[in-house]
Structure 1
Amino acid sequence: MNAKDQRPVEINECDVLIVGAGPVGLTLANTLGLAGVSVLVLEKLDSIIDYPRAIGIDDESLRTLQAAGLAEKVQAHITPDHWMRFYTASGQCFASIEPRTDEFGWSRRNAFIQPQVDAILYQGLQRFPQVQVLLGQELQQFSQNDSGVSAEIKDSSGQQRILRAKYMVACDGGNSLIRRTLNVGFEGRTKPNQWIVVDVRNDPLGTPHVGMHCDPERPYVSAALPHGIRRFEFMVMPGETEEELSKPENLAQLMRKVVADPDKVDYIRKRVYTHNARLANQFRVNRVLLAGDAAHIMPVWQGQGYNSGMRDASNLAWKMAMVVKGQAGPSLLDSYEQERRSHARSMIHLSEVAGDIFAPESHTAAKVRDTLMLALNAVPPVKQYFAEMRFKPMPRYEQGVVLHQTATQNQGHKTPLAGLLNRSGDTPFSRLLGLMAEKKESLFGRLVHGLEAPQPSPIGRMFIQPKVSTPDGETVRLDDLIGLNFAIIAWGTDPSYGMDEATLSFWKSLGARFIRVMPVGQMQHSSPTREGVLTIGDAQGRIKDWFGAQNKSIVFVRPDRFVAALASPQEVSSVTRQLAGALHAQLPSTQEAFA
């Protein structure tokens, strides 16, 4: 044995080991840090990645960053209300995605520059003495048993170290070593065509949105980004290579499609990408969990790869914190896969469909698409359907930490678009849909599949985030009053009033927030509540509208802002007991509650 082999092995221990310092790993580390969990973040590179990748961040991700205490800082690098418009080869707009609502407290579509936001996430970890980042350290192998995970890592000098953790999260990308070591399948498809991405400074166009130019000769994207950056993406045609396209004369030929003088473009970088659509067969193997690209990768066309990873971090962080702190049993982590995997599949499907519509496989299909979409765009309900981004499948958890009502549900209804398609019969619309079917089902039919759904219950869906008034007269976003906690929110009444001592003690042990909401004008004349109940004013009237659509007046909101259950004031204790079961948590005994 040589001297190098005889060097002592340093052992580091933590609650959670996160492998990969990308946005998902950094977000998860920040959120766990706020929860008081000890974390080691392992990154094989010597620094976090500094080149642009994702360019779209949605309202759900901004809400996740808000929960991590960083949303305000990233606003300097975000362009809100970033519309996406689709154009025919002749330059005619046939669809425009322009959501203008802010149900979750932030604008729904936003442009951003990922390295700048990643840097904020990285710097945010300095707030937590129990969170450490190990750069330039590569995972070699790992093992797990009933007590935890042991990981062997190595730095660039060859020095080895052992890390031990209660749990490990694989945020190590689409080629995840951890996923492959676990023999977890990663099924899906790779598109045969590639795209060359060109980022430039000193935006040569200056228009503020995203243009999806569906030219069958060579589809391309033009996207305005913050700080005068613009991204162009051009399809790589058969027989072309990255090396050839990157030559100045060929790149100038590409850019001549979009700028007046390609010789005056200030290039940042050029890179060729292949679009993949893949989903891991499982997201948890005992004490190891997969998140972000390690669990799912998808084409870029709806900007959901980054945002799906952020949903993973938001869903997993609070559950992992409860488990490692002994507030819930390990089986709670099973709900992560139950809740996230099906929605990740839906986002992959949406991204594939959007790509197929943007760049169909033949000129004939492109002409049919243009004719159909221009016709549909003339129908106000259809135009509104696309503009408001109603086609985006929002997360709704059917299993996991949710208590779905078994009582009478609202009857199903058909959306205007579904009704239109059902009434079309043997019309030009229906014949055009048939022509678009190059496979078993049409591209457009796939996009609107499932529209005839029942009126959605709020259970398993994200709760709204309006602005509210505090007793001190401030106007703030609702989440800023909740923090990384459960919230029991009631309209007009004390949500804790009907709770017995055991259930009240249970929620207090978790740090839950009890919130009573009322019209702002009533706050000065409100009746007394139990100690610890916060009374707030419904500054925008949205919470009243939300409760007005329900048949229950108390909502149980999870730390990731999803609705876990609804209850009437007299049901809060029984519902709490059911939720404790879903959380794999124990309620205190009567003696403990009174102690």
Structure 2
Amino acid sequence: MSQTLSAKPDYTADVVVLGAGPVGLTIANYLGQVGVSVLVIEKLDQLIDYPRAIGIDDEALRTLQSIGLIDKVLPHTTPYHWMRFLTPKGRCFASIEPKTDEFGWSRRNAFIQPQVDRVLFEGLKRFDQVDALFSRDLHQFDQDAEGVNLQMRTLDGKEERVRCQYLIAADGGNSFVRRTLGIAFDGKTAPNQWIVVDIKNDPLGTPNIYMCCDPVRPYVSAALPHAIRRFEFMVMPGETEETLSQPENMRKLLAKVLPNPDKVELIRQRVYTHNARLAAEFRRGRIVLAGDAAHIMPVWQGQGYNSGMRDASNLAWKVGMVVKGLAADSLLDTYQQERRDHARAMIDLSVTAGHVLAPPKRWMGTLRDGISWLLNYLPPIKRYFLEMRFKPMPQYEQGVLVKPEMKVEKNPVGRLFIQPKVRTEAGEVCLLDDVIGSNFAIIAWGTQPTWGMSAEQVAFWKRLGTRFIQVVPSVQMAVSVELPEDVIRVGDEQGRLKEWFGSYPASVAVIRPDRFVAAITLPQTLESTCTRLSQVLAAKPAPIRSTGEAVVQGV
């Protein structure tokens, strides 16, 4: 913007997060955890409590685990929540029932978003340097070489100014920040709206989620935690939220799915539109877009919420490193490099799922039903749906990673690392991420993980807060061994880590704070691999004391 907001600020913070939704709150929790000062600014006077996302995946749960809130979130979820597509006559032609837990949690879970948003908000109270302001309307901002200035207005018209190093705009699909910056938000809006109806004391009680592909009026029936039932009905031409909400019309809708539409306890209903849009840029200088501000997608695979949580997981640790002086500002360029293509893939998946539920042409529905009837008798096709193999998992080809020096089939670099159970020296069994914390990790199978590193490299990675982890079969934990003070030894409780390392010609993996594999290598080539990776990280050298001693700073 042309005018600089130069007046003395009312608030200062390392990072301002605009928007108290799940993405903004998750980023604020992570940054608070690593000691960064954060100010969350929200336009509304309280957290949103109307019907929103109902599906949370294993990746998002792993992100919530990384910020120490998983135990408070799990009571608001239903694990292993299957999705079934039904023909108009009630035949199930496709069922999504993934039973894998390679990342530590159930692949598909039902939840009620406002309850988890509340957990995220309450989690901010753990950090003295994190604060939140509600009822603030941001109406002007600019940026310079050192930071961002914001000007906002309170409900009573008072003007307030904020100064920060970085602004993370998680302010929704209608993002004021994105629009003001003039960043394109290309895509499509679906021609049909849908009405969401939430009912307490579930009048059906059947588990899971059903997508009924009725050509007259497609609908969704979903069992949610705490005995909540959600129905979603397509809004037909000529209908409005006002007319559908009238008692007699609501009764007609519910009569389609309930034996007694009069015996219900309605919580609320709301009409919404499906959009599929992607921002042309995720970053402009010291301002970064995240969540719906960067991409929005139809709800049919529950990926809008989960894609936003992937943004939070990818972005938060990078912002933390830059603000703490551990990496150059250029590290933030890798956020768009890594996230934008996958966000596009999830948009495409969600649009395709919507076409399966409600085909644009009726003849397409008839063709779908016939083909699906045949394909269900082919085991490979059935497994493809059951195990959710159609979901494109993130794999980064560029960004914070180094390609292996050796030839590797099905290269794991740029993919999410597994999270099995491990046994600690104290004899406790826990998930691997609980050992790593919000840090980098260098994990070695069988060998001492710092053996191939120089003293300078060990000091470098310690400065980043890295966990050095030696993995052995759990039965070997009974034998005491001498290790460097900074090395953690864990037992491979389920044999999954041995299986993972056995799949590649490597025995050492460098894991990023978002649990993606940054590199794989051997002990003898670990030093050169770590040198290449430190360059990709844009890591800054440690400050030097007057005595010539490096200052050690942990993340």
Q: Does the residue aligned with 1:40 lie in a helix, a strand or coil?
A: strand
Aligned-partner residue type, residue 524 of structure 1: A
Q: Does 1:544 align with 2:544?
A: no
Q: Does the residue aligned with 1:262 lie in a helix, a strand or coil?
A: coil
Between the aligned partners of 1:186 and 1:401, the Cα distance in structure 2 is 26
Instruction: Note the C-alpha offset of 1:574.
Output: 1.0
Q: Which residue of 1 aligns with 2:227?
A: 228
Asked if the contact 1:580–1:587 (Cα under 8 Å) also holds between the matched residues in 2, the reply is no
Aligned-partner residue type, residue 267 of structure 1: L
Asked if the contact 1:505–1:588 (Cα under 8 Å) also holds between the matched residues in 2, the reply is no
Aligned-partner residue type, residue 110 of structure 2: A
Between the aligned partners of 1:196 and 1:508, the Cα distance in structure 2 is 52
Q: Does 1:579 align with 2:533?
A: yes
Between the aligned partners of 1:321 and 1:43, the Cα distance in structure 2 is 21
Q: Which residue of 2 aligns with 1:365?
A: 364
Q: Does 1:467 align with 2:421?
A: yes
Q: CA RMSD in A?
A: 1.5
Asked if the contact 1:59–1:107 (Cα under 8 Å) also holds between the matched residues in 2, the reply is yes
Asked if the contact 1:486–1:559 (Cα under 8 Å) also holds between the matched residues in 2, the reply is yes
Q: Does 1:384 align with 2:383?
A: yes
Q: Which residue of 2 aligns with 1:133?
A: 132
Q: Does the residue aligned with 1:463 lie in a helix, a strand or coil?
A: coil
Aligned-partner residue type, residue 64 of structure 2: L
Instruction: Note the C-alpha offset of 1:593.
Output: 6.6
Asked if the contact 1:503–1:587 (Cα under 8 Å) also holds between the matched residues in 2, the reply is no
Instruction: Note the C-alpha offset of 1:181.
Output: 0.7
Q: Which residue of 1 aligns with 2:116?
A: 117
Q: C-alpha deviations, 1:143-173, integer Å up to 9, x for none?
A: 0010000000110011111100000000100
Between the aligned partners of 1:483 and 1:501, the Cα distance in structure 2 is 23
Between the aligned partners of 1:592 and 1:578, the Cα distance in structure 2 is 24
Structure 1's 462 and 392: CA in aligned 2 closer, same or farther, altered over 3 A?
same
Between the aligned partners of 2:184 and 2:107, the Cα distance in structure 1 is 33
Asked if the contact 1:502–1:587 (Cα under 8 Å) also holds between the matched residues in 2, the reply is no
**Percent identical:** 61
Asked if the contact 1:580–1:586 (Cα under 8 Å) also holds between the matched residues in 2, the reply is no
Asked if the contact 1:502–1:588 (Cα under 8 Å) also holds between the matched residues in 2, the reply is no
Between the aligned partners of 1:89 and 1:402, the Cα distance in structure 2 is 48
Asked if the contact 2:452–2:526 (Cα under 8 Å) also holds between the matched residues in 1, the reply is yes
After TM superposition, which residue ranges in structure 1, 4 or more long, deviate above 6 angstroms?
Answer: none
Aligned-partner residue type, residue 551 of structure 1: P
Between the aligned partners of 1:141 and 1:264, the Cα distance in structure 2 is 50
Structure 1's 588 and 150: CA in aligned 2 closer, same or farther, altered over 3 A?
closer
Q: Which residue of 2 aligns with 1:500?
A: 454
Structure 1's 11 and 470: CA in aligned 2 closer, same or farther, altered over 3 A?
same
Kindly tell me the number of residue pairs found equivalent between the two proteins: 543
Q: Which residue of 1 aligns with 2:470?
A: 516
Between the aligned partners of 1:593 and 1:268, the Cα distance in structure 2 is 59
Asked if the contact 2:88–2:214 (Cα under 8 Å) also holds between the matched residues in 1, the reply is yes
Deviates more, 1:401-410 or 1:11-20: 401-410
Matches for 1:356-505 after TM superposition, within 5 Å: 356-405=355-404, 407-410=406-409, 456-505=410-459
Q: C-alpha deviations, 1:408-456, integer Å up to 9, x for none?
A: 242xxxxxxxxxxxxxxxxxxxxxxxxxxxxxxxxxxxxxxxxxxxxx3
Between the aligned partners of 2:169 and 2:540, the Cα distance in structure 1 is 29
Asked if the contact 2:404–2:521 (Cα under 8 Å) also holds between the matched residues in 1, the reply is no
Between the aligned partners of 1:404 and 1:214, the Cα distance in structure 2 is 44
Deviates more, 1:354-363 or 1:172-181: 354-363
Aligned-partner residue type, residue 334 of structure 1: D
Between the aligned partners of 2:18 and 2:126, the Cα distance in structure 1 is 20
Q: Does the residue aligned with 1:571 lie in a helix, a strand or coil?
A: helix
Q: Which residue of 2 aligns with 1:317?
A: 316
Structure 1's 174 and 589: CA in aligned 2 closer, same or farther, altered over 3 A?
closer
Matches for 1:261-280 after TM superposition, within 5 Å: 261-280=260-279
Q: Which residue of 2 aligns with 1:172?
A: 171
Q: Which residue of 2 aligns with 1:11?
A: 10
Structure 1's 594 and 316: CA in aligned 2 closer, same or farther, altered over 3 A?
closer
Instruction: Note the C-alpha offset of 1:182.
Output: 0.6
Asked if the contact 2:51–2:196 (Cα under 8 Å) also holds between the matched residues in 1, the reply is no
Q: Which residue of 2 aligns with 1:527?
A: 481
Between the aligned partners of 1:187 and 1:213, the Cα distance in structure 2 is 30
Q: Does 1:347 align with 2:301?
A: no
Q: Which residue of 2 aligns with 1:565?
A: 519
Instruction: Note the C-alpha offset of 1:572.
Output: 1.4
Q: Which residue of 1 aligns with 2:3?
A: none
Between the aligned partners of 2:508 and 2:225, the Cα distance in structure 1 is 41
Asked if the contact 2:51–2:270 (Cα under 8 Å) also holds between the matched residues in 1, the reply is no
| TM-score normalised by length of structure 2 | 0.96
Aligned-partner residue type, residue 112 of structure 2: I
Between the aligned partners of 1:572 and 1:90, the Cα distance in structure 2 is 59
Q: Which residue of 2 aligns with 1:202?
A: 201
Asked if the contact 1:9–1:160 (Cα under 8 Å) also holds between the matched residues in 2, the reply is no
Deviates more, 1:261-270 or 1:167-176: 261-270
Aligned-partner residue type, residue 294 of structure 1: A
Q: Which residue of 2 aligns with 1:188?
A: 187
Asked if the contact 2:83–2:209 (Cα under 8 Å) also holds between the matched residues in 1, the reply is yes
- Structure 2 runs not aligned, ≥5 long: 1-6
Asked if the contact 1:15–1:38 (Cα under 8 Å) also holds between the matched residues in 2, the reply is yes
Between the aligned partners of 2:551 and 2:17, the Cα distance in structure 1 is 40
Instruction: Note the C-alpha offset of 1:9.
Output: 6.6
Instruction: Note the C-alpha offset of 1:527.
Output: 3.4
Q: Does the residue aligned with 2:524 lie in a helix, a strand or coil?
A: coil
Instruction: Note the C-alpha offset of 1:324.
Output: 0.3
Between the aligned partners of 2:103 and 2:165, the Cα distance in structure 1 is 33
Instruction: Note the C-alpha offset of 1:228.
Output: 0.6
Q: Does the residue aligned with 1:221 lie in a helix, a strand or coil?
A: strand
Q: Which residue of 1 aligns with 2:211?
A: 212
Q: Does the residue aligned with 2:529 lie in a helix, a strand or coil?
A: helix
